[in-house]
Structure 1
Amino acid sequence: MNLQTNLHQLTSFSRLGRSFLFSYNILILTFRPEADHFFQWNISSLVLVKLFVQCARFVTFKTMSEVLLFMSSFEIQRLPFLVLPPLMEWIRVAVAHTEHRRSFSVDSDDVRQAARLLLPGVDCEPRQIKAEDCFCATRKLDAASTEAKFLQDLGFRMLNCGRTDLVKQAVNLLGPDGINSMSEQGMTPLMYACVRGDEAMVQMLLDAGADINSEVPSTVNKHPSVYPETRQGTPLTFAVLHGHVPVVQLLLDNRANVEGALQDGAENYTETPLQLAAAAGNFELVSLLLERGADPMIGTMCRNGISSTPLGDMNSFSLAAAHGHRNVFRKLLSHSDQEKGDVLSLEEILAEGSDPGEKRLAPQANGGGTLRTGKARLRALREAMYHSAEHGHVDITIDIRSLGVPWTLHTWLESLRTCFIQHRRPLIQGLLKDFCCIQEEEYTEELITHGLPLMFQILRSSKNEVISQQLSVIFTQCYGPFPIPKLTEIKKKQTSRLDPHFLNNKEMSDVTFLVEGKPFYAHKVLLFTASPRFKSLLQNRPAAENTCIEISHVKYNIFHLVMQYLYCGGTESLHIRNTEVMELLSAAKFFQLEALQRHCEIICSKNITTETCVDLYKHAKFLGATELTAFIEGYFLKNMVLLIELDGFKQLLYEPSPAESPVSSPGICSDILHDLEKTLAARIHSIHLSTSKGSVV
């Protein structure tokens, strides 16, 4: 028993020693010789950095807090990690956050902010605005200035405790600015009270003369610890940001500027209270701010309603749409419809031919009149439509579309992609039906790289008759009204020819072919230079003089047409029946007679119908006739609205069965949709994107 007790005490002393050495090392590493001071680490920060150093892989900070505090050092060291940042990195980043606060005390929140940067997958809330962080007592200040800093810090702490009976005493400690004194963070006591949601303290500070429209300064000269996110923030901004509805009501009742720091005629570089409420989806605050005259158009549009702000800030419509707050968006929309009027400038009146008597004056908000045009509202809704589509909130996108806002290709594609991922078939059908509203000027590279793959994927996976019909209409529309590119004859000079009198003439023939058991007489001098196939047949024939070359897969009449083409030196004298053209095409392909093959392809392209196109396509794919295949694919796309109703074409698209076709082999027509996509992409690029548009026709 005594031995176990001694071992336990020894282990405890060992752990205590290691912790002491760890803390000592941190203090040495954070010593600043030039400033002659240490950065103090409180107990919570030391414990937290020790845990993070020992294990660098946590999913969330919550997981670390709840789990690691109950684990031994041995268990912590055995946890997996990716890259373990060295201790010096933890100290450097944590101290940087401390210096940013102009403080000499590293707290646990500084370590947490360092973990957000150093560890993947670790996150925690941003540092909260607290009055305790406002104090800075640098050794560079003289005694009087340092004393004033201490007194001001004490005043802020007294107000921060929530004791309304200490307001008068605290104000006396704040300095010459009194109740409107600003901390190192640029915050006034009223702002801190609004952050906490302390309604009673807000009322007391207002009664004591606090400036209700004070702003966090934008410059860092006098207030170097100002958070970038809080610049130009007002008490109303902070109350809205933290969702304190009673405090917001109180501030508005005391005539706080409903637009925050924004002044009439000034550019908006920060979010207004309405923008913050819309982004948070706080319906009650949005309704309250709108009731008090907040302008939902501020943000994206400049104050003159003509151009967008250079920083790309979004207005309340866009923020509500981007975050998916449909009820807030509808509230903004209904308020805009009820209270906002349209005013046309003289330039717009002349450009649009409108009657000057139709102009209306928008209601004045907060004492200032703002001119709004129908174009400005349309631009605002277009941007909201873009952000809702970009973030996958398709219901809001459809709501905006129902207002008459036109589609852009990008918003339409993103909405279609979202509906396809979410398996929302009714919305897919509605979107496909709306494609005709997209102007041809919108047919950009995005349609080829993103639109066509998406639509063909929908066609491949849905197999729904309505969707297939709608996609067929879209593909035909994209293919355009121009005719299918025609096939042209190959003008190939005949190397040699003989008089047709010698065609299948036994006299003077020096080679005999056996076709369907019948002899066919020919001449080497002509065939040897006709094609590589004939040259190979003649060179590989047996040495015996009377040996015939057997042609087993070509009919006699088809072979006769082939030889007639060779002896006559062209296709002019050929009389090809429609029933023979497919077999002649196969024979021309086999004997490598390109000009004859092209002539047969042209005949096929002229005689193609909706009933024969599928079989013709399969045959062309089997033969590898790329030009004819491309022509038929163009025919498919141009006539897809009719073809999609035919069982043969649907089977070709959805249920390819190469084994059942006598002219097919495994792999033939197995990816018809991919080929159609490539053909349509080339067509769109040729008509809408190339420098010589329409050159394909």
Structure 2
Amino acid sequence: MRKLRPKDSREPASGSPVRSGCLQRLSHDSRIQRPFLVLPPLMEWIRVAVAHAGHRRSFSMDSDDVRQAARLLLPGVDCEPRQLRADDCFCASRKLDAVAIEAKFKQDLGFRMLNCGRTDLVKQAVSLLGPDGINTMSEQGMTPLMYACVRGDEAMVQMLLDAGADLNVEVVSTPHKYPSVHPETRHWTALTFAVLHGHIPVVQLLLDAGAKVEGSVEHGEENYSETPLQLAAAVGNFELVSLLLERGADPLIGTMYRNGISTTPQGDMNSFSQAAAHGHRNVFRKLLAQPEKEKSDILSLEEILAEGTDLAETAPPPLCASRNSKAKLRALREAMYHSAEHGYVDVTIDIRSIGVPWTLHTWLESLRIAFQQHRRPLIQCLLKEFKTIQEEEYTEELITQGLPLMFEILKASKNEVISQQLCVIFTHCYGPYPIPKLTEIKRKQTSRLDPHFLNNKEMSDVTFLVEGRPFYAHKVLLFTASPRFKALLSSKPTNDSTCIEIGYVKYPIFQVSPGGNFKVSINAHFPPSPQKSESPS
């Protein structure tokens, strides 16, 4: 637990652990702030650590499982992700006989000797690995060459290759014989591990030695794991992407799923989609510039059924030169979807510029991002592109999401060009039907007091006594000014002159208020109880 501490915590100068008595004194010292006021219970530590151990298919927990548990349970604590190491493998010693467990311990020792980086121990370590020699797999399903590629140890990789290590062996997919296999690394090769960790010299060395550039993918077969190019495109390593493309990697290869369940609703996550989803614009352009591979003259069933259709109506001219362009068009449509979903509108515009048609969803997402980023020229460009969307794309999303968004843009925009473009879109959405006549809603005119009638003895027919001082007003205006005035005056006899005493308002307030809004003044100052009144004297 010493490695897991907040950044502002301090250790003793001597480096020795703090004793319990000293810890008690420090806890009562107001100048020392304890890093964690309330620690999780022991059962929570055990539960989270066991979950991490079970995720890596291990039979026991180690210190890294505790560190990962602390990262989740303690606030402000973080640690590096778990690395792939041979010492993470633990054999079920209680279930094996003496001979088998002896061979297992020798194998573990051989992996540790190779992982220490000593190239002069390769021969002795190989003799301990077992009958498979240099290609022996650990309980994680990995060979010594794979571990060396993870570390980026170029010298060890060269020594293992000279010793006869298999370049293209895959991580096994069955966990029965190798119980600690990571689910994410199944079918990976040594080249895949080197690309994932960005070790360019090791990748160059493996490719020069004859490693398959597509990893475990065979020509014409479905792929159930990520290719090296997919991983390099997702990370955004331009140099690695260029190297793999130069060696013949295919950016159109995607990942299939055995159970039919995929996290990508638009299809397989090929290299185009990986680069677009992570916003790596330079990597995407590099993939796009890769020349297409020539395929055989044998037509697939899909291509036979598509014979005779007019491709010019469904796909832009730049992408319809060959049958391979159909697969590229599908890949670019998927990449366009992912770039729009993740908010990388510049990548989306790049894909659109090469002729990939809009879908309503990608257009709306791009317009929303451009509006949030206050990019006026981009908004104008997107609004101009609305007419290119096919009417078959018009769904309920246009009504529930699109129109409210465009009205919000119209409300916030002060640009005349944007307003005109939005009006054109609204007209197009409304259709050729005549616009019904709209009846004007007339507001009821409220009577306001003419200053000439306020406190004018000659024009008044009612007098208020406020603090013993008269205030002159007119009944007609008072009836329309406030319902409370109307009720007050209706209960009085219709004499030529009516005098009403007001005992709840100060005269200066009553004198100033009628000049503005008499209705507001009366509602604010008169209580709900009946007003006190007197007969004219």
> Which has the larger displacement, 324-333 or 445-454?
445-454
- Counterpart CA distance in 1 for 2:191 and 2:346 is 31
Q: Is 1:232 the counterpart of 2:181 in the alignment?
A: no
Provide the residue aligned with 1:113 in structure 2: 68
Match of 2:173 among 218, 234, 240: 218
- Counterpart CA distance in 2 for 1:159 and 1:323 is 36
Aligned-pair distance for 1:415? 0.8
Aligned-pair distance for 1:452? 1.6
Match of 2:342 among 383, 391, 406: 391
Provide the residue aligned with 1:465 in structure 2: 416
Amino acid paired to 1:430? C
CA deviation digits over 1:225-284, x for unaligned, max 9? 111111111000000000011111111111111111111232211110000000000111
- Counterpart CA distance in 1 for 2:111 and 2:36 is 45
Instruction: Tell me if structure 2 keeps the 8 A contact 1:301–1:309.
Output: no
- Counterpart CA distance in 2 for 1:448 and 1:141 is 66
For the structure 1 residues 80 and 188, does the alpha-carbon distance in structure 2 shift closer, same or farther, using more than 3 Å as the test? closer
Aligned to 2:309, what secondary structure does the other structure show?
helix
Provide the residue aligned with 1:421 in structure 2: 372
- Counterpart CA distance in 1 for 2:67 and 2:371 is 40
- Counterpart CA distance in 2 for 1:154 and 1:79 is 40
Provide the residue aligned with 1:346 in structure 2: 304
Specify every segment of 5 or more residues in structure 2 that has no aligned partner in the other structure, as ranges: 13-22, 313-321, 440-489, 491-537
Q: Is 1:168 the counterpart of 2:93 in the alignment?
A: no
Alignment RMSD: 3.0
Aligned-pair distance for 1:120? 7.2
Provide the residue aligned with 1:444 in structure 2: 395
CA deviation digits over 1:408-443, x for unaligned, max 9? 111111111111111111111100111111122222
Aligned-pair distance for 1:116? 4.7
CA deviation digits over 1:316-356, x for unaligned, max 9? 000000001001000000004x55679763322233489xx
Aligned to 2:307, what secondary structure does the other structure show?
helix
- Counterpart CA distance in 1 for 2:392 and 2:184 is 40
- Counterpart CA distance in 1 for 2:323 and 2:145 is 34
For the structure 1 residues 481 and 79, does the alpha-carbon distance in structure 2 shift closer, same or farther, using more than 3 Å as the test? farther
- Counterpart CA distance in 2 for 1:210 and 1:76 is 57
- Counterpart CA distance in 2 for 1:176 and 1:185 is 18
Aligned-pair distance for 1:67? 2.6
Aligned to 1:219, what secondary structure does the other structure show?
coil
Scaled by the length of structure 1, the TM-score of the pair is 0.54
Match of 2:7 among 52, 66, 81: 66
Provide the residue aligned with 2:50 in structure 1: 95
Q: Is 1:292 the counterpart of 2:247 in the alignment?
A: yes
Aligned-pair distance for 1:119? 5.6
Instruction: Tell me if structure 1 keeps the 8 A contact 2:222–2:256.
Output: no
CA deviation digits over 1:160-184, x for unaligned, max 9? 1111111111100000110000111
Amino acid paired to 1:329? F
Aligned-pair distance for 1:158? 1.0
Amino acid paired to 2:206? L
Aligned to 1:389, what secondary structure does the other structure show?
helix
Specify every segment of 5 or more residues in structure 1 that has no aligned partner in the other structure, as ranges: 1-44, 52-63, 303-307, 355-370, 489-541, 543-697
Percent of aligned positions that are identical: 74
- Counterparts of 1:9-408 in structure 2 under 5 Å? 45=1, 47=2, 64-70=5-11, 74=27, 85-98=40-53, 100=56, 102=58, 104=60, 106-107=62-63, 109-118=64-73, 124-136=79-91, 138-299=93-254, 312=264, 313-336=268-291, 339=293, 345-352=303-310, 373-408=324-359
Aligned-pair distance for 1:309? 8.4
For the structure 1 residues 259 and 415, does the alpha-carbon distance in structure 2 shift closer, same or farther, using more than 3 Å as the test? same
Provide the residue aligned with 1:56 in structure 2: none
Aligned-pair distance for 1:136? 2.5
Aligned to 1:459, what secondary structure does the other structure show?
helix
- Counterpart CA distance in 1 for 2:394 and 2:272 is 27
Q: How many matched pairs?
A: 408
Instruction: Tell me if structure 1 keeps the 8 A contact 2:9–2:35.
Output: no
Scaled by the length of structure 2, the TM-score of the pair is 0.70
